[in-house]
Structure 1
Amino acid sequence: RSEVDRNTYSLFELEKGVPTFYYELEKAVADGFLVPPRAHSVPLKFQREGVKYNELSLEEQAEYEEKFWDEENGAMPEKIESSALNNWLFNIDTVDKVLEHLMRYGVKVAGGDRLGKTIIFAKNHNHALFIQERFDKSYPHLKGKFCRVIDNYETYAQTLIEDFSQKESDPIIAISVDMLDTGIDVPEIVNLVFFKLVRSKTKFHQMMGRGTRLCKDLFGSGQDKENFYVFDYCQNFEFFAENPEGIEGGSQESLSKKIFKQRLNLLLLLQQPDIPAGDGLQRLRGSIEDTLHGEVALMNPDNFIVRPHRRHLEKFTKREQWGSLNAEDALEVTLHLAGLPAELPQEDETAKRFDLLLLNLQLALLEKSGSFARNRDKAMEIAARLEGKGTIPMVAQQMELILDLQTESWWAGITLPLLEEIRVRLRELIKFLDKGEAVIVYTDFEDTIGEQSEIFVAGYVSADEMRQYRLKVERFIRDHANHITINKLRMNRQITKQDLEELERLLFTAEEVGNRERFEKVFGHQQSLGMFIRKLVGLDREAASEAFGEFLHNTTYSATQIRFIDQVVSYLTRNGTMDPGLLYEPPFTDLHNEGLDGVFCDAGVTKIIHLLQDIELRAAA
């Protein structure tokens, strides 16, 4: 089969308005499988307004003049913008007030004597270090144990994560810079502190997810975790209330994805028949095959991002698949596996950037590209900077190679295996290089913290509230099944804009449903109200069967194929719509282990996907 036809699920994977991850998280909270947050917005004056010279005390103004007077220009800014705070300006009282607020109002365990497990999301590494420093200063008896920074700069980060994951073990407070935003699974977490701006909806929900795990007997026998607290000092909840979709980053590829793709490109070139067997190239080729296969093998097929690509994952978790890739294989891996999350150990970002530089050099050397000289110069500059770190034992051990790299004559005989040796021997040293960051300023101006206010977080509603309201809405809709729009939705007839307006009028003027705001507080924002109602009422079985009538007409199908379609119809009757990805999961894989692709030919697969799309589109005006 062609690549396009074979990959029908990915080809037809469309945005459904509510991404699978959010739907699953919110539904799990509603069904009692996860716990909801209690969110508190806490106003901090400097965090919101910046530091204004004319609002400081006389003593503070003197400190301001000392630290912000520009000798070169003979001037001083009237205000330091809030964006500078925790970036290059670190104010003692701001951090102290946040920590005091957390220690006073955070959820306690051990009979109320100790703060429960907590993650503080910091803006950057320096911010994280400053928070830990201020905590240790305020609570010297807990210094070095209770509150720890866990990020990519920490040599023993994995050990600290394991310690944090233990119920009664220090640290109790983990200060994270991205490292704990996703992936960590600690049921005992009961406090999240947002001490940085978040503008990505995806990242925001992932961070919130750190606190949602159930935890039995957390507060004593029979006293389970029922919720968790979120303290937001940066108005993130207010931002997402006004901008529900957030501001996602562009389509820029992650560093890990770039490295994966460049390794794949290098492997394809090394597998060409004209590549000689000697000179260490075959060993390099085998090493790259092992590395790529190893990363794919650590992709969890149950991960919500990986799940839609499971068929491709199963194929390439077999080591023999990597021995002789063709162009179609490479395209399949690039489109469906490159960039997917793998359960790999955390690595320093600077080491990974060095990996990418050396991969670019290897490709440029093999392809005789003009980019080789530019990348070589970058490597020589890195070597020169490493030479200046010769007092560090790890650097001193590699000094002979570091000095060689700085001479053009050494590069004259460069080979792919030599470049790989450079990568392996120097990648762990790059973290010792100075990063040329802006000058950091520490101040001690008195900040102002306001009263915290509890705010509603759409989508995270208690199980009882959701169930009761859902029952009322479902009962109301069933009682009005003959309403023209609801009837159209059940019978798979196209609804119009006027139909949708009539439906909204029916729902949001009814006492049982309430206004739109109340509806969305429980169910979240629905981009397609028609689709939402359809999912509640399902499809009429005859209408669902009729949708597949033309597909089945005048064609002879096997008993397995007919049974497959009957299962699709049954699903639509119950649920009203169907994600094509479900056709590659049980019970459909009970009929054939490849699901839809294993039961029907390419044309049949494409037609079925189109029919499911059409059924969905008929519920949208």
Structure 2
Amino acid sequence: MEKGLRDKDGQLPGKTIIFARNIAHAELMAQLFSELYPQHGANFCRVIHSKYERAEELIDDFKSSDENSMRIAVSVDMLDTGIDVPECVNLVFAKPIKSKVKFWQMIGRGTRLCENLYGLGQHKTHFLIFDHWANFEYFDENPEEEDVKQAKSLLQKLFEARINLAQTALKKANMDVFDQTITLIHDDICLLPMESISVRDNWQVVETYKDLKRLNQFAPNTASDLLEKVAPLMQWRNIMGQSEAYKLDSELTTIQTLLLTDANQIDLAKQSVMNKVESLQMHLNEVRSKAPAIAQMQTEQYWQYLTHAALEQSRIDLRSIIHLRNKSVTPPTSDFVLDIKEDANQIHETDRLTKIVSIDYQIYRQEVEKTLTPLFETDSVLKKIRNGEPVTETDLAQLSSLVHTQNPSVDLNTLKEFFPESTATLDKILRTIVGMDKNAIEQSFTTFVQQIHTHVNAKQQRFIGMLKNHLIRHGSIEIAQLYDAPFTQIHDMGLDGVFSQQQADVIEQFIKQFDVQLGDKNQTVDKEVIV
């Protein structure tokens, strides 16, 4: 659920086959899944075995591309061979395999090509195998392991867009828009499935922001809490059959934000929405009942005198029918060329005034992360930073130049201005944003355990695994954090409750190398820009 390849919206795992040992094993896994993720309902993960009378119907349901069809099939021999499900992108080997022929046949369940799986022109290019029984080692196969970095889910993107809209409205003192947006954010939080284990682990922050009064105050730390702690939980909401509605919500939220920030961009942003509206199937009674709203949105007057309230009403009217459109109709596209001739007499030189703009840390951090992530595998300086290796000023200047080329709105040195009291170098600040490389962390901990010659029990292994995951994700850790959640999930006393005093002292000395002292953070910094 967390590491597997997801569907085109990033909200749910793609089609997945789990190869179980026997019926009892399969039914146990399906039962555990239901207990951990009850929000997805009974048909999301099903056992398929020949003893079931409806086995063939279940297979047909799994093969279906319908949004409400089965996503995870726990198979007992029935899907090992001879079944083609091109949409399948995750295979879980939950049993030992002794036949090499069968081993390759099972792998073949993921090799089927599937065009447009992730949208028009975005084909299936690879799939993942989770091998829990070392079958690859048994057959002397050593493929490269892949650490999948999940893209943000559809609902996380929508939630973040609404937070951005609320922040923008508050800065503009547009309290009507702010109040309406806060209500939507509150509704999103209240719809989180508290029975889901991942949401339950974060129940305190969720319950805190279910308080509408607290949300309306929108204190300086509220936005950061919502973006860092609540937004990622949106992936656990079940929106099967509703993805088109939430895509419309997201697109219209973007336009509502542009109304407050840059109305000139609305013409470009509205194209996707209008293509959908114009392709609605008007012969359907459900669509025809919304004819006034559809017609209004297609008038020039609607867009010429556009308001937040009009967009919100359109969103409410159309979200329930937006999926009822002719999706085979592709919007017309045409290349156009602007042939602009330069007239030397029209060139003027003048001094440009500057103005001071306020930059929000969370928004800027997200922009930095978005720019750096595609460079993880190609940029040598970024590799050094994620491996915890020292870098020079020349290295950082080279990286800053590359980033500015990729995204002119990002200047890495601006990050230091958010932490005026910190002595941390830029590479360490960047590490707290991009995290650390999994292989580097694994090697570092393996070397550490070998050096101290200490046997670790299951609880200690779990603690160390949690520590590794934290460093991979956050790039740094302070000793005090080892005595707080989530480490207190293993023992109330954190580090001291899991390890002896001597072991704890050794671990504290070891992790000091990962500590990045950032000091107090400025939520915003002011920058001078040319106008």
Q: State the TM-score, normalized to the length of structure 2.
A: 0.45
Larger Rg: 1
Q: State the TM-score, normalized to the length of structure 1.
A: 0.40
